[in-house]
Structure 1
Amino acid sequence: MSLEPEQLDWNKGDGLLPVIVQDASTRRVLMLGYMNREALEATLASGRVTFYSRSKQRLWTKGESSGHVLEVRAIEADCDNDTLLVQAVPHGPTCHLQRASCFAEAPGSFLAELDALVARRERERPAGSYTTRLFEEGVRRIAQKVGEEGVETALAAVAQDEAALLGESADLLYHLLVLLRSRGLGLADVEALLAARHSA
């Protein structure tokens, strides 16, 4: 994070900047808060989002009581240098109502959420989970499932209706995420490669 506090326009908001926090994986907007210079410096130093609480009149690190911290991945200023966008990894629900976002209908990528769930299954291996069973059967079995689902998706495209095609496509995408994770990769790696190809 190369953001320098001196670059920002602190005067416009009487020393406070509005801060939009976005999930680094799903791109869902999580919350809005405010930072003064000290809060930004604390955020940069700790790697956890710290705000200035206007009601408490003090610095406030998100999750300091709940444990649901926001781990910073990137911070950038807008074109006027008077608003910040923070991309973060939420550790638990961001909202005090136990929702992922303070905005109940904030859109995000479900595919990225599924990828994160697959990653947790790979780490935790909960008993009774189909995903756990796939990981325990190994990469060859997972690859076989991807092949089967790919054939079924192709057949649905030429011989079945849209509902069947969508169902097989969903199965294929899920098994592909498991296969990627079994090799230490994820959806973000595929997205990065696609973006590199697009810009080339």
Structure 2
Amino acid sequence: MQAILKQIAWEKLNGLIPVIAQDYKTQEVLMLAFMNKEALELSLQSGFAHYFSRSKQRIWKKGEQSGHTQKIYEILLDCDKDSLLVKVEQKGVACHSGAKSCFFNLVSQGEITNTALESQADMSVIYGVVDSLYHILQERKGADSKTSYTASLYHKGENTIAKKIVEEAAELGFAIKDKDSKEIIYEAADLLYHALVGLSFSDISPDLVKQEIVRRFGLSGIEEKNSRQEK
């Protein structure tokens, strides 16, 4: 195993090697991801693709949430030993959007056309509504600010986004004070949306927030606050 890992030019790659996943039967290119040494070792040992997420800063097994795993049939290292081609049996779809392949945006004559709209499933059921919404918000960064509310928030910048978060938090607080169940739900949804816009604007994955919440399990609120003050 170590002999294989040593063959890769990790130093010039800053520890992450780009990986193209390809359907072993149809030869269709499915996705591009990255592996570090540990992810590649886990892939070799288990026979299923593991990658390193740059946004979440952790190793993840493809399909760990959706069940859309990639069984490895062959791994090919290129001539410069700085990229991998992994031929896999794809269970379900490869892309979080619900498309079979991540490469469905057709670039032609100065326009980008989504060729997989009809085939995209409701990913909120598979990946969770927060993660699904975050991916949609990331995609809106390239949208027209005149036709997309989310894009207009990005265009106006952090001051407007921060102001909206404060406003929505206040409206939720008033709804709680008024004991209006429907308004509490509506305002909580608005606050969550605008908070995710703020995270997306800052390129911070909600998965990192989840990890921080997990870290706090077993800590009292007082202990957690004191630990921040000590820093």
Bin for the TM-score computed over the shorter chain: 0.5 to 0.7
Pairing partner for 2:196 from 177, 185, 188:
177
Pairing partner for 2:148 from 111, 126, 129:
129
CA positional deviation for 1:170: 0.3
* Equivalent residue number for residue 73 of structure 1: none
Pairing partner for 2:99 from 80, 93, 98:
93
Per-residue CA deviations over 1:15-57 (Å, capped at 9, x if unaligned) read xx6888417xxx3233x56434xx2x349x86666325xxxxx
Question: Alpha carbons of 1:145 and 1:48: their partners in 2 closer, same or farther (altered >3 Å)?
Answer: farther
Contact 2:97 2:120 in 1 (8 A): no
Pairing partner for 2:87 from 46, 50, 75:
50
Contact 2:72 2:86 in 1 (8 A): no
Contact 1:29 1:106 in 2 (8 A): no
In 2, Cα distance between the equivalents of 1:128 and 1:5? Answer: 43
TM-score normalized with structure 2 length: 0.51
* Equivalent residue number for residue 75 of structure 1: none
Contact 2:98 2:121 in 1 (8 A): yes
Pairing partner for 1:168 from 165, 187, 192:
187
* Equivalent residue number for residue 35 of structure 1: 72
* Equivalent residue number for residue 211 of structure 2: 192
Per-residue CA deviations over 1:58-92 (Å, capped at 9, x if unaligned) read xxxx6xxxxxx84xxxxxxxxxxxxxxxxxx5476
Q: Which runs of 5+ in 1 are unaligned?
A: 9-16, 53-61, 63-68, 71-88
Question: Alpha carbons of 1:167 and 1:48: their partners in 2 closer, same or farther (altered >3 Å)?
Answer: farther
CA positional deviation for 1:94: 2.6
TM-score normalized with structure 1 length: 0.58
Question: Alpha carbons of 1:47 and 1:110: their partners in 2 closer, same or farther (altered >3 Å)?
Answer: farther
Matched, 1:141 2:160: yes
Q: Percent identity?
A: 22
Q: Secondary structure at the match of 1:29?
A: coil
CA positional deviation for 1:181: 2.1
In 1, Cα distance between the equivalents of 2:45 and 2:136? Answer: 38
In 1, Cα distance between the equivalents of 2:140 and 2:130? Answer: 15
Question: Alpha carbons of 1:153 and 1:49: their partners in 2 closer, same or farther (altered >3 Å)?
Answer: farther
* Equivalent residue number for residue 63 of structure 2: 22
RMSD: 3.7
* Equivalent residue number for residue 3 of structure 1: 41
In 1, Cα distance between the equivalents of 2:170 and 2:164? Answer: 10
